[in-house]
A and B are shown apart, each in its own frame.
Chain A
């Protein structure tokens, strides 16, 4: 493998964080697209803050601009106006220490599970043996022991999504941006992977911004749920979720006292007919 290391993104090199600054602050971000010469405003005026060790879920109607928001946050597209600050510094280019995971697993078919997980480490110029070692540990933690040498085509949907999660986590990002990563999974697999993700994230005090269509998923996993309006999207409501249970067990969370009430209220907020 080539050991090309661009100095800016060499292992661990991050812009010096401002002490005490929250991992992510979004202030008055707006974004429009140009569709056949017509300007379509997608993000209206959006502000939010993600604190350290916090899991924040974002729910909103389909097509309201959630993916656009995440793409903006990780520097894939530029906002028209507003500011995005990572760890107190205004964003320029791709933010370091941020892992992005999409609904599609996007595994490379010519790489085995292990080599897929190693991708980010290879890109950052981590030595092959160390990358291999860390990828193995990550796969083991996500219950994929023994599947390291499998090609993606021979894995089930749930396993592929775990490999994608391992590929994100192995880079030890401080913040995870997750775009409906569990949407394509069956219910049982989904609960298991959600619980694993919550465990791995909470024990290392990482921050997560999770986009989802699934209100129950949002309430069970997140500390805070942000409801977005239809296009052009703004923050419509914010719920601080206090379930009083261990927040790494999705089944316990779903059975806890306040759960149904939160789900009902958020559901009512989302209801299109009431917009």
Chain B
């Protein structure tokens, strides 16, 4: 502004006095404690539920050899986990599957998100390719496994390819949905501020789509893992999928479950990391 500036006024429409503020601070602390108690209660209930399930399982299989063979038993599973941990195969298999999953997740999401977002640029192109995307999305990935192995061999690459394929369409669709869902008024605002199409994309569409993109990330952690494991089922010499397949074909049920436990742990860790990155990248989401 060119004219003489008005003196800065203190706080706009926020009446604050200190006694009330103290009371409010106490209320806030009480509120926080209550919320913490509530989440502890939820956690305790979850642990209790799990413990009850494991105890029931152990009890049902403890005196029945047939059942123990068919369903394994928690103690046998724990035993296998210990042996696999001490002979190193647990870490080796988890590492291999983890790498496959992570690379498939990253490659699939990067490609899918880039295509999905850039489709915002052209309604024409997106309308042209829409049926093809739907068609590709409806192919069960497992049906592609034999071809993938012919194309990419039996090594790491074919597992990453399987994992990528499981992820890419979902990532494309979620990010495209986010991009076209941007408020038309917000786009008009950018236009009246003189923004070019690229500036609208860069400063509005991409950040506004982050919520949907991360929803896609959370969904595709599981898909990436499934892709990697299915790839390992087909042909492999290591990895959790390999361990599950081998133990299964030898009828060592508790070992199947042991590898499955490791798989679940892997999925949880990856989901946790995605959640942390989301919070880091979108600090405004923690507020309000």
Contacts and interface: CB of A to CB of B under 8 A. Distances in A.
Q: Do A and B bind each other?
A: yes
Interface of A: 2, 4, 6, 9, 71, 74-76, 94, 96, 98-100, 102, 104, 106, 108-110, 119-120, 122-124, 137-138, 140-147, 151-154, 156, 158-159, 162, 169, 171-172, 188-189, 192, 196, 199-200, 203-204
Contacts, number: 110
Given A2-B202, A159-B12, A106 B192 contact: no
A141 B6 contact: yes
Given A71-B188, A74-B192, A94-B191, A147 B12 contact: yes
A2 B201 CA distance: 12
A204 B6 CA distance: 12
Interface stretch (B49-57, B92-100, B280-288): B280-288
B196 A4 contact: yes
Contacts of A162: 12
A172 B283 CA distance: 31
Query: For chain B, which range describes its interface: under 10, 10 to 19, 20 to 34, or 35 or more residues?
Result: 35 or more
B204 A108 contact: yes
Given A108-B204, A123-B203, A162-B12, A137 B196 contact: no
B3 A203 contact: yes
Contacts of A172: 1-2
Contacts of B186: 106, 108
A102 B284 contact: no
B14 A171 contact: no
Interface string B4-21: 111011111110000000
B12 A151 contact: no
B18 to A, nearest CB: 17
28 contacts: A2-B202, A4-B199, A9-B194, A71-B188, A74-B192, A75-B191, A76-B192, A102-B185, A102-B189, A104-B185, A106-B185, A108-B207, A110-B282, A110-B284, A120-B194, A124-B193, A140-B5, A141-B6, A143-B9, A143-B10, A153-B284, A154-B288, A156-B13, A159-B13, A169-B1, A172-B2, A192-B13, A200-B6
B204 A137 contact: no
Most chain A beta-carbon contacts within 10 A, residue among B4, B185, B186, B203: B203
Given A100-B192, A203-B3, A122 B203 contact: yes
Given A4-B196, A4-B198, A140-B5, A110 B12 contact: no
A212 B13 CA distance: 23
B12 A100 contact: no
The list of the 4 closest CB pairs from A to B, nearest first, reads A153-B288, A143-B9, A143-B12, A140-B8
Contact of B203 (A94, A119, A152, A159): A119
Nearest to A146: B11
A15 to B, nearest CB: 14
Contact of B14 (A152, A156, A203): A156
Contacts of B5: 137, 140-141
Contacts of B8: 140-141, 143, 145
B192 A94 contact: yes
